[in-house]
Chains A and B, each alone.
Chain A
Amino acid sequence: MNLRRASLFELVRGLGLLLVLAALLTSVRLVAPARDVASSTLLGLGILIFGGYIAAHLCENLGLPHLTGYIVAGLVLGPNTLGFVSEDTIQGLRPTNSVALALIALTAGAELSFGLLRRGARSLGFAIGAHLLIVLPMTFAALLALRRFLPFLQALPIAGAAAAALLWAVIAMSRSPSSTLGVISQLRPAGPLTRHVLSVVITMDLVVLISFSIARVLAAMAIEGGSANLSALEELGTTLTGSLACGTTVGLVIALWLKLVKRQLLLFLLVIAYAGTQLAGYFHFEPLLLFLTAGFVVSNLTGQGEELMDLVGAGGQIVFVVFFALAGAHVDLGLVVRVWPIAITLWLVRAVATVIGSRMAASLAGDGPAVRRYAGFSMLSQAGTTITLSTAVGDRFPALAGLTAIAVAVAALDELTGPLLFKWSLDHSGETGKHKEHAPIEAHA
Chain B
Amino acid sequence: MIPNDNIEKYLAGQTTVAETEELLRWVNESEDHKKEFTEACKLWYALQANKYNSDKAFASFVASHTPKPAKAKIFPIWKKISAVAAVAILTIGCFTLFNKQPESITVANNNATVETVTLPDGSTIYLQNGASVTYPEEFAATSRTISATGNIFCEITRNEKAPFTVTSNKLTIKVLGTSFQVNSTNNAYVVVETGKVQVSTDTQSVIIEKGERADLTNNTLVTTTNTDLNFLSWKTGLLQFRNTNLSQVFSDLARHYNCEFAYTKSCADVAKMNLTGTYQDLPLAQVLQMIEAAIPEFHYEINANVVLVSNSK
Q: Do A and B come from one complex?
A: no
List the interface of chain A (C-beta within 8 A of B).
none
List the interface of chain B (C-beta within 8 A of A).
none
